[in-house]
Amino acid sequence: MSNVAIRKNDQIMMSLVHYFVTKQDYAPINVQGVKDEIWLENLNGPYRIIRISCNSIINEEQYKFDIFKVKHIMKQIKKKTLSFKVNALNICLDINKKVDLGDIKNISTIKVDSMKDIKKNEELNKAFPDMEKSLIKATDGLDLIINVTNDINEKTAIENNKFNSVFAPKKIIVTNIILFICLALYIIMGFYGGNIFEIEPNTLALFGANNITLVKSGEIFRLLTSAFLHVGIIHLIVNMYSLMIIASQVENFIGKAKFIFVYLMSAISGSLMSLVFLGKNIVACGASGALFGLMGCLLYFGYHYRVYLSDAIRTQIIPIIIINLFIGFSMSGIDNACHIGGLIGGYLATMAVGIKDKSTKQDRINGSIVLILYLLFLSYIVFFVK
């Protein structure tokens, strides 16, 4: 087989891309209008963005324009990933040694003329200690191309499988069970009270609605049972419709076991927050606290998958939460405290159980601790302060 000659800069670029993609979990970014450069992204890496450029930079003016272009693309990525701060590593493979790189906020630019420069660079070795020994080596250009292509394709296939395991449609079971329980309980209460369109407060209390006097007397089960009861047919229809849309998505994304935990914790935290503000003679019920908890779950999940879901978070999830909270504050008879309590509880519960392939063990520990403290604080207010 004959040797294939490739330019030195191309060889360095391919070696770097191979390392960052296969060893550091960076993913290529599709940036329109660029040539002879590759952009990589890892939201959890020491540098959020890595740009490797073969473009020739001869003087200061070219370098300033190059940095301007980098800043512009960074701004777009920052907006897309819902990030407050983005730092970038700018690796230039063809830049005049006389060009002053300067000190630019959030952009670290380094010159690389050869593989030796990579091994000698303190900033690179500090951020990526294993780079020197992990850079791919090849006997000729064809070997390098084949090895890099095969390894990156294999890595891409693994990442695609992880993505599909999360987003591929699955059989929805738990959500349907919750829908059935809510509907069955409403029908039973309707026939018991003699009015299928509106349930009397006494009937709600009998079947487990939330009430601070009853909860403080030992009927703690009401913190959970109240999330499966509804006061009227409109209340039921609205919540069940929302449940079908939101809960089915959450169950599909995080799995059945985690979904059950998040739903129950959201319901309990919503009920506790409700008791903090409700009067002694008021009974409250409804799945809306748990539903808001599922929206909190989507916020946490979406943040970890913001590369794919940033538009949905910005244009759908956040506006829905804001609109519903606004309606709750502007209209009487809506338990907004339950909504807020459930929202916070759902977010923390999701943090506690973690997101597959995204959350670290420390993230889950932190989430569990904060969730426990949150529930203990609300419980203290309900049982010892009110």
* Cα gap 274→339, rounded to integer Å: 8
> Residue 48 gets which letter from DSSP?
S
| Residue of 339, 359, 368, 379 marked active site | 339
Q: Which tokens sit at 277?
A: 């503000």
Q: How many Cβ atoms are within 10 Å of 67's Cβ, its own excluded? A: 17
Nearest to 233 by CA among 195, 280, 281: 195
Name the 3-class secondary structure at 350.
Answer: helix
Phi, psi of 135 (to 5 degrees): -65, 135
Query: Any catalytic annotation for residue 368?
Result: no
* Cα gap 110→240, rounded to integer Å: 56
Query: Any catalytic annotation for residue 15?
Result: no
* Cα gap 72→166, rounded to integer Å: 32
| Residue of 271, 288, 304, 359 marked active site | 288
Alpha helices in 97-232 (DSSP H): 115-120, 122-127, 131-134, 141-167, 174-193, 201-207, 212-216, 222-225
Residues 6+ positions from 230 with CB-CB distance below 8 Å: 182, 186, 199, 236, 239, 285, 286, 287
Query: Taking a C-beta distance cutoff of 8 angstroms, is the pair 348, 367 a contact?
Result: yes
79-82 contacts at long range (C-beta below 8 A, 24 or more positions apart): 80/306, 80/307, 80/310, 81/41, 81/43, 81/48, 81/306, 81/307, 81/310, 82/303, 82/306, 82/310, 82/313, 82/314
**What positions carry a catalytic annotation?**
288, 339
